[in-house]
Structure 1
Amino acid sequence: MVKSVHVVEEVEIPEGVKISIEGMKVVVEGPKGKIEKDFSHTRNVAISLSDGKVVVESYFARREQKALVGTIAAHIRNMITGVQKGYRYKLKIISSHFPISLEQKGDVILVKNFLGEKSPRKARIMPGVKVKIEKEDVIVEGLDIEAVGQTAANLEQATKVKEYDRRVFMDGIYIYEKGEAK
């Protein structure tokens, strides 16, 4: 069990982005909006602001704390990118025989007529995420990369084919592009 004396990760704060830290809660504000994330579940890790940088550090860190320092820094970088540019996932609707139709109702997307099923399948939309349905494409956009990715995954999982050979029954909704919104 070798401990590192001091593990530090610094994240630059770009122009136009404001970050405030209250204990272990990080709030990032930018031109597109605001994201909050609570890191209070972490132990032996400190988050602070100094000289236009966010400093994530840990003293006498074991392997878990070292990994946690890098993970928290990566989360903060993703939050900064989210409030500056946002994130976008594009999904394609694939259907061979039964035409799939999507309908958005509140925070749920209903997948109708999937493989000829009578009852619609449901995919949850995470808070803070916008979904656009355009003919054969579904565009999922938002500031928080985790919420956008989870919404896209919920759509993909809702149309997962079970008990059939997926090489033959390729119907479903599939992610084909993901990244920063342009």
Structure 2
Amino acid sequence: MSRVGKMPIAVPQGVDVKIAADQITIKGANGTLVRAAHPLVSVKQEGAALQVAPVNETTEANAMSGTVRALLANMVNGVSKGFEKKLSLVGVGFRAQAQGQKLNLQIGFSHPVVKEMPAGISVATPTPTEIIIKGADSQVVGQLAAEVRAFRPPEPYKGKGIRYVDERVVIKETKKK
């Protein structure tokens, strides 16, 4: 059996879990997340913990028990604490500005780039070269950060572009004559 799937998920105070036949709903301070239940995995609530187990002893059911457990743990973590990704802009004249649910980027193009944020996701710019994307759903936060980074990924010669705060960009040496 999956080692990850065997571990129980601790449900903190203020987080409400509802397990139906076809979906699992987790509600907390940061919002509500819903995920479809997988037919090869059974989920039970035992006190202040969730227990995930495979329905049968097939390899696929075993693998899915670990996957579902990790997804549910991320959902519980998201509605209680939330997830955030930090991006930084490196380059002369590169600026970001959050306006409600929109992110305006000036990143060296002839036009500003505007990215609309979906519901449940907030964006902040503490400084003009910093972007913080926050939300309850880990997958949506990570995907949005990747989409914003894809507008102008860091280039290898000067390092200009949008990068994650903890990302290390290897700078190449220019060609010598």
| 1:64 pairs with 2:64 | no
| 1:158 pairs with 2:156 | no
* 2:138 corresponding residue in structure 1: 145
Match of 1:15 among 5, 13, 16: 13
1:18 CA displacement = 1.6
10 and 136 in structure 1: CA distance in 2 versus 1, 3 angstrom threshold:
same
Larger RCO (alpha carbons 8 Å, 6+ apart): 1
Rounded to whole Å, the distance in 2 between the matches of 1:37 and 1:29 is: 9
Q: Which amino acid aligns with 2:78?
A: G
* 2:27 corresponding residue in structure 1: 29
1:8 CA displacement = 4.8
Rounded to whole Å, the distance in 1 between the matches of 2:102 and 2:60 is: 37
* 2:96 corresponding residue in structure 1: 102
* 2:164 corresponding residue in structure 1: 175
Task: Give RMSD over aligned pairs.
Answer: 2.7
Structure 2 stretches lacking a partner, 5+ long: 168-177
Size of the alignment, in residue pairs? Answer: 164
Structure 1 stretches lacking a partner, 5+ long: none
Q: Deviations over 1:22-58 (max 9, x none)?
A: 223222222x232222224x33212222333222221
TM-score by structure 1 length?
A: 0.75
Which moves more between the two structures, 19-28 or 121-130? 121-130
Q: Whose strand fraction is larger, Structure 1's or Structure 2's? A: 1
Quick one: percent identity of the two aligned structures?
21
Rounded to whole Å, the distance in 2 between the matches of 1:56 and 1:157 is: 36
Q: Deviations over 1:51-78 (max 9, x none)?
A: 3322222132322221211111111111
